[in-house]
Amino acid sequence: MKLVDLAKRATQILQDAGEKGINNIELAEKLQMPRRRVYDIVAILQAAGLVEAKREKGGTRLFWSTLPVIEPSSAPPSDSKAIEKQKAAVSKLEKENAELKEKIKRLREDLSKGVPKKTSAKQMFDSSEIAVRAAKSLKITEVVSSGIEVIIKANGKGIIVEPSSKEK
């Protein structure tokens, strides 16, 4: 028998036992199950606050606890305008969320198409000429040459350096 079915039968037996309760050994006998299975059920019911247990000679007496009644809060009736504002705000956030999810999806697709290898290490090219360009929407903003070194600045990260395919 499944533990769920055992728990249902155990709760019914515990409720029927009333104020006098039932011994855990008696409960195991009534369920015709080993005590270890009954201990599992009782532990879960105790954790949920549905069963109280008191140690006694020859086992543990189990008592069914009634659920506490939760009183409805005494909150004032809601203002329909405030509810409409909240609904509009939720709708706006859901729309923004959908747009952001779509943007993430497009960016992931772009990434899966192949992202150039990012490196910041020194690189030596077997070429006398190289091509430098800014990635996608970036622009090269400054080029400074000392005759030995060229400093190239862009308006963001993403400068691409490639050996030139043209050889003179």
| Buried-state track 56-71, b at ≥16 Cβ within 10 A, e below 16 | eeebbbbebeeeeeee
Instruction: Report the distance separating Cα 25 and Cα 6, nearest Å.
Output: 15
Q: Could you report the per-residue pLDDT of 12-48, keeping only the tens digit for each?
A: 898 888 888 888 889 889 989 888 888 888 888 888 8
Q: What pTM did the predictor assign?
A: 0.39
Mean pLDDT of the chain: 83
Instruction: Report the distance separating Cα 13 and Cα 50, nearest Å.
Output: 13
pLDDT for 56 equals 85
Domains and CATH numbers, the chain: 3-64 (1.10.10.10), 130-163 (no CATH)
Instruction: Report the distance separating Cα 14 and Cα 7, nearest Å.
Output: 10
Q: Could you report the per-residue pLDDT of 59-87, keeping only the tens digit for each?
A: 889 988 876 555 666 555 568 888 889 99
